[in-house]
C-alpha cells in the first residue's frame, strides 16, 4: 500500500470515527467497505477470571461459532483471575490496543458491582460492553435435605436467628438480591463469601451454610442435590427445571431490576471503536449471526447451559443493565463490602 493511499484511508477513518461517534457509531456503506479485510490476524480476548469456569465455557461456545463469520479467525483467550475481576480489566485497559483486535469477555453484573465497592484505576467511560451472550438469573437455593425447603421457611427462620448464607463473593448480583430480600422482610442474613460456586455449593451441602445464593444454571444442573426457592429476575425462564420457583418481585411485592448473576458479555475500548468504526461494525454484525446458528445451540447444550438463558443484548441494552445494577449496588454498598 502506498503512503498516499494509506494517508487518505487514515484521514477518511478519522472523519468517519467522528461521524460514527456523534451518531452512536452508525456507519456509511463506504466506511464499512474499508473493513472487509478485517480481521487479518488473531483476535485476543482478555478474560477477568480463571480458566475452566462458566465464562470460559461460554466464551469457547460463542467464539467457536463466531469465527465462522469472521473468515475462521482465531480467538486467543488469556485468563486473569484475581480481585474479583479487577486484575483482568486493569490488564485489558492497560495493555489492549485500540484496534478492535483486543476484546474483553466478562460478567457484567459482578464486575460492575466491583466498581461500586471500589472504583477502577481507569475511567469507566473509556470502555463499554457491546454484546451480551447470556442471562442467568440469580437465585436462592437450598440442599434437598435442608429443613428449609421454601423461601417462606427461610424468611421465617431468618426472623428468629441470623442465617449464614454461602455466596461466591460479596459484590455479586445474587448476594445483592439476598441482601435486598433481608432488608425488605426483616430476615437476618449473614453473607459469607466462599470464593466461587463450587465452594458455595459445598458449604450448602455440608450444612455449614443455611442456604446459598448463586446463578441458577449451576444449581438446576445439579437438581438431585439442590432446590431453587427464589429467583431474582422478573420472570422464571425455566419453571420446569427450578421447582417452579417464585420471583422476588412477584412473591414479595418488591421492585428490583432483574439481577442476573451470570450476564456474560463482550466488551471493547471506546477508543478502538472511534479509531475503527468499520471493524466494530463487522464485529457486531457477525456476532449477532451466531444466535440463529444451530451450531451455537448445540455448543450451548454441550456445556449444559439452558438455551433459555442465551439472549443477545446490544451495547444499549448492556448499558441499561450495568446502570441498573450499579444503582441498586450503591444502595447496598456497605453490605457488599462486609462493613455493616
Handedness of CA 224, 229, 230, 236 (dihedral sign): positive
CATH numeric code, 141-260: 3.40.190.10
Q: What is the pLDDT of residues 80-114, one digit of tens each?
A: 988 878 899 999 999 999 999 999 999 999 999 99
Instruction: Kindly state the cell numbers that stand for 108.
Output: 457484567
The predicted model gives 239-265 an average pLDDT of 95
Q: Which residues pair with 137 in a beta bridge?
A: 260
C-alpha span between 137 and 247 (Å, rounded): 10
Domain boundaries in the chain?
3-135+263-331, 141-260
Q: What is the pLDDT of residues 206-234, one digit of tens each?
A: 999 999 999 999 899 899 999 999 999 99
Q: Kindly write down the DSSP assignment for every residue of 172-235, as one continuous string.
A: SHHHHHHHHHHHHH---EEEEE-SSHHHHHHHHHTTSSSEEEEESHHHHTTTTTEEEEEESSSS
**pLDDT band for position 264 (cuts 50, 70, 90):** very high
Question: For the chain, how long is the longest CA-to-CA vector?
Answer: 78
**pLDDT band for position 197 (cuts 50, 70, 90):** confident
**Residue 316: per-residue pLDDT:** 97
Q: Is the pLDDT confidence value at 16 over 70?
A: no
Q: Kindly write down the DSSP assignment for every residue of 144-176, as one continuous string.
A: TT-S--SHHHHHHHHTTSPEEEEES-SSSHHHH
Q: Which residues pair with 165 in a beta bridge?
A: 191, 211
**pLDDT band for position 36 (cuts 50, 70, 90):** low
C-alpha span between 326 and 144 (Å, rounded): 33
Strands (E), the chain: 43-47, 75-79, 102-107, 127-134, 136-143, 163-167, 189-193, 211-215, 226-231, 260-262, 264-269, 310-313
Q: Is the pLDDT confidence value at 35 over 80?
A: no
Q: Is the pLDDT confidence value at 137 over 80?
A: yes
Instruction: Kindly state the cell numbers that stand for 98.
Output: 485500540
**Residue 33: per-residue pLDDT:** 43
**Residue 340: per-residue pLDDT:** 53
Residue 276 CB neighbours (<10 A): 24
> Judging by DSSP bridges, how do beta strands 260-262 and 136-143 pair with one another?
antiparallel
| CATH classification number, 3-135+263-331, choose in 3.40.190.150, 2.60.120.1310, 3.30.565.10, 3.40.50.11780 | 3.40.190.150
The predicted model gives 310-332 an average pLDDT of 93
Q: Whats the size of the chain, residue-wise?
A: 340
**pLDDT band for position 334 (cuts 50, 70, 90):** confident
The predicted model gives 103-131 an average pLDDT of 94
User: Cβ-count burial of 106 within 10 angstroms (0-12 exposed, 13-18 middle, 19+ buried)?
Assistant: buried
State phi, psi for 234 to the nearest 5 degrees: -65, -30
The predicted model gives 224-252 an average pLDDT of 97
Q: Is the pLDDT confidence value at 34 over 50?
A: no
C-alpha span between 290 and 285 (Å, rounded): 10
Same fold, 3-135+263-331 and 141-260: yes
Q: pLDDT over 90 for what percent of the chain?
A: 77
CB 266 within 8 A of CB 98: no
User: Cβ-count burial of 1 within 10 angstroms (0-12 exposed, 13-18 middle, 19+ buried)?
Assistant: exposed
**pLDDT band for position 195 (cuts 50, 70, 90):** confident
Q: What is the pLDDT of residues 56-73, one digit of tens each?
A: 999 999 999 999 999 999
State phi, psi for 182 to the nearest 5 degrees: -60, -45
Confirm whether pTM is higher than 0.85: no
Instruction: Kindly state the cell numbers that stand for 282.
Output: 463487522
Amino acid at each position: 500500500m502506498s503512503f498516499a493511499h494509506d494517508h487518505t484511508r487514515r484521514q477518511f477513518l478519522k472523519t468517519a470515527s467522528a461521524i460514527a461517534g456523534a451518531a452512536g457509531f452508525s456507519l456509511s456503506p463506504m466506511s464499512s467497505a474499508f473493513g472487509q479485510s478485517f480481521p487479518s490476524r488473531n483476535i485476543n480476548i482478555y478474560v477477568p477470571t480463571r480458566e475452566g469456569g462458566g465464562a470460559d465455557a461460554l466464551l469457547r461456545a460463542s467464539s467457536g461459532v463466531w469465527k465462522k463469520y469472521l473468515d475462521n479467525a482465531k480467538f486467543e483467550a488469556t485468563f486473569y483471575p484475581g480481585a474479583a475481576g479487577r486484575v483482568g480489566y486493569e490488564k485489558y485497559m492497560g495493555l489492549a490496543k485500540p484496534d478492535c483486535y483486543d476484546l474483553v469477555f466478562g460478567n457484567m453484573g459482578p464486575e460492575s458491582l466491583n466498581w461500586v465497592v471500589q472504583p477502577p484505576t481507569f475511567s469507566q467511560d473509556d470502555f463499554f460492553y457491546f454484546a451480551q451472550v447470556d442471562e442467568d438469573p440469580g437465585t436462592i437455593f437450598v440442599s434437598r435435605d435442608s429443613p428449609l425447603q421454601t423461601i417462606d421457611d427461610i424468611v421465617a427462620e431468618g426472623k428468629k436467628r441470623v442465617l449464614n448464607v454461602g455466596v461466591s463473593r460479596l459484590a455479586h448480583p445474587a448476594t445483592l438480591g439476598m441482601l435486598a430480600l433481608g432488608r425488605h422482610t426483616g430476615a437476618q442474613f449473614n453473607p459469607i463469601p466462599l470464593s466461587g460456586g463450587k465452594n458455595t455449593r459445598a458449604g450448602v451441602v455440608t450444612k455449614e451454610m443455611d442456604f446459598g445464593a448463586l446463578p441458577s444454571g449451576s444449581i438446576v444442573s445439579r437438581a438431585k442435590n439442590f432446590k431453587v426457592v427464589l429467583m431474582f429476575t422478573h420472570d422464571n425462564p425455566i419453571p420446569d427445571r427450578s421447582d417452579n420457583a417464585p420471583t422476588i418481585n412477584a412473591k414479595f411485592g418488591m421492585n428490583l431490576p432483574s439481577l442476573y448473576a451470570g450476564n456474560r458479555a463482550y466488551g471493547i475500548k471506546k477508543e478502538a471503536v472511534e479509531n475503527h468504526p468499520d471493524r466494530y461494525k463487522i464485529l457486531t454484525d457477525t456476532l449477532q449471526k451466531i444466535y440463529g446458528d444451530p451450531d451455537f445451540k448445540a455448543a450451548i447444550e454441550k456445556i449444559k447451559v439452558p438455551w433459555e438463558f442465551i439472549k443477545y443484548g446490544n451495547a444499549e441494552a448492556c448499558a441499561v443493565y450495568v446502570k441498573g445494577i450499579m444503582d441498586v449496588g450503591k444502595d447496598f454498598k456497605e453490605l457488599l463490602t462486609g462493613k455493616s
